[in-house]
Amino acid sequence: MEGFTPAAGLAGGFLIGLAAVMLLALTGRIAGISGILSGAIHAGEGRSGRWLFLAGLVAGAAVHQWLSGAALPVRELSWPLLAAGGLAVGLGTRLGSGCTSGHGVCGIARLSPRSIVATVVFMSTGIATVFVTRHLLGWAT
Amino acid sequence: MNRAATAAAWAISGVVFGAGLSLSGMINPRKVLAFLDVTGAWDPTLVLVMVAAVATPMILFRVVLRRETPFLDSRFYLPTRRDLDARLIGGAALFGVGWGIAGYCPGPAIAAFSVDLREPAIFCAAMIAGMYLSDLVPQWRASGQPA
Which domain, by its residues, includes B40?
Answer: 3-134
Task: Answer yes or no: is B140 within a domain.
Answer: no
What is the pLDDT at residue A3? Answer: 84
Q: Which residues of chain B have pLDDT under 50?
A: 142-147
Q: Do the Cβ atoms of A25 and B71 come within 8 Å?
A: yes
Query: How close does chain B come to A29, measured CA to CA in Å?
Result: 5
What is the pLDDT at residue B139? Answer: 73
Domain tally for chain B? 1
What is the pLDDT at residue B137? Answer: 86
Which pLDDT tens digit goes with each residue over A69-81? Answer: 877 888 999 999 9
Which pLDDT tens digit goes with each residue over A85-127? Answer: 999 999 999 999 999 999 999 999 999 999 999 999 999 999 9
What is the pLDDT at residue B146? Answer: 47
Which pLDDT tens digit goes with each residue over A38-47? Answer: 999 998 888 9
Q: Residues 24 to 63 of B: which have CB under 8 A from any A CB?
A: 24-31, 33-34, 36-58, 60-61
What is the pLDDT at residue B1? Answer: 56
Task: Answer yes or no: is B139 within a domain.
Answer: no
Task: Answer yes or no: is B122 within a domain.
Answer: yes
Strands (E), chain A: none
Task: Answer yes or no: is B121 within a domain.
Answer: yes
Task: Output the average pLDDT for chain A.
Answer: 95
Strand partners, B146: B140
Q: What is the DSSP string of chain B?
A: --HHHHHHHHHHHHHHHHHHHHHHTTT-HHHHHHHH-TTSS--THHHHHHHHHHHHHHHHHHHHTTSSS-TTSSS----------HHHHHHHHHHHHHHHHHS--HHHHHHGGGT-SHHHHHHHHHHHHHHHHHTTSPPB-TTSSB-
**Distance (Å, whole) CA B80 – CA A124:** 25
Say if B90 is an interface residue toward chain A (CB within 8 Å): yes
A2: left (phi over 0), alpha (psi -120 to 50) or beta: beta
Task: Answer yes or no: is B103 within a domain.
Answer: yes
**Distance (Å, whole) CA B19 – CA B4:** 22
Region A118-140 average pLDDT: 97
Q: Do the Cβ atoms of A13 and B87 come within 8 Å?
A: no
Give the confidence band of A2 by pLDDT, cuts at 50, 70, 90: low
Which pLDDT tens digit goes with each residue over B30-60? Answer: 999 999 999 999 999 999 999 999 999 999 9
ipTM for this model:
0.97
Q: Residues 117 to 136 of A: which have CB under 8 A from any B CB?
A: 117-119, 121-131, 133-135
- A13 interaction partners in chain B (CB closer than 8 Å): 20, 24, 48-54, 56
Query: How close does chain A come to B145, measured CA to CA in Å?
Result: 16
Strand partners, B3: none
Query: DSSP label at A35?
Result: H
Task: Answer yes or no: is B24 within a domain.
Answer: yes
What is the pLDDT at residue B40? Answer: 94
Of A21-25, A68-72, A126-130, the range with the lowest mean pLDDT is: A68-72
Task: Answer yes or no: is B146 within a domain.
Answer: no
